[in-house]
Amino acid sequence: MKKLLFLTSIFLVSGFLLYFMMKGGTTTSEPGNLGNIKDNIVVAMVDSVKVADWKNNAQYLRIKTEIGLRESNGKINASEKELLISTLDINYALSLNKKYNTIKVNFTSFPSELYNEMISYQTKNKDLPIYIGELNAFRRLEQMEGVVNQFLNGRFNIAKSNSLRAQINEIPIGSLAGNPLCSRFKSSYYQKIGGFQGDVQTVTELIDTAEKYPEEYSRYKELGDWKNESSVLKYSFYKAWFNNPENQRFL
């Protein structure tokens, strides 16, 4: 009988452990068991983190150190220390969540420090992975400037132009859509792409015709009118094309 009770107890404990292992890593579970910890001061310190205006990890590290000291001094036991630290992590992740929602509509540069903390504690809060995805998308949007500039340095192609517009528009920035910086990035890119098209689409069609049908001069005779056009020559491909001696035969 005693052996049966012992085995039953082991099974129940194992079941509870498995439940909490599966549940605890990804949600903001409430630290209900903290009420059983007699050290009210350290409990209050842990609770304070979730309502703090996050600035850096100094408060988190100070409280985590304090928890370790209180175990060393015998004010809490090992299991209480583990519970306090796990709750501290959850509360800290919640403070990161709140901070992101506070700044997401008005930050003017990538919040690197906050982002790195969100990465570290993303398993402690169900929303942090979503917000990390938004910030990753913001980085992609920010880096699209290089892609756009590379496009402007090449030969215009309407299919590439449309594809690039679609690529920019489809970056999944989520709730950052209301951030003015994101709006400025998109507006700037669209303006550059549209300006490029307006400046060079016609001359590109003439160049295409000249290169494809060099013997049919009447089809591209207007090409020479563009050789001194500043709005065209400001783009590197077209400046190089008109300066290439081999292309003088088309002008």
CB 181 within 8 A of CB 108: yes
Count the Cβ atoms, other than its own, within 10 Å of residue 22: 9
Q: What are the tokens at 169? A: 């528009």
* Confidence label for 99 from pLDDT (cuts 50, 70 and 90): very high
Distance CA(61)–CA(66), nearest Å, equals 9
Tens of pLDDT, residues 166-198: 999 999 999 999 999 999 999 999 999 999 999
Alpha carbon distance 239, 207 (integer Å): 13
- Look at residue 18 in the predicted model and tell me its pLDDT: 33
- pLDDT grade, residue 30 (50/70/90)? low
Residue 141 pLDDT greater than 50, yes or no: yes
| pLDDT surpassing 60 at residue 228 | yes
**pTM of the predicted model as reported, rounded to 2 decimal places:** 0.81
pLDDT of residue 37: 87
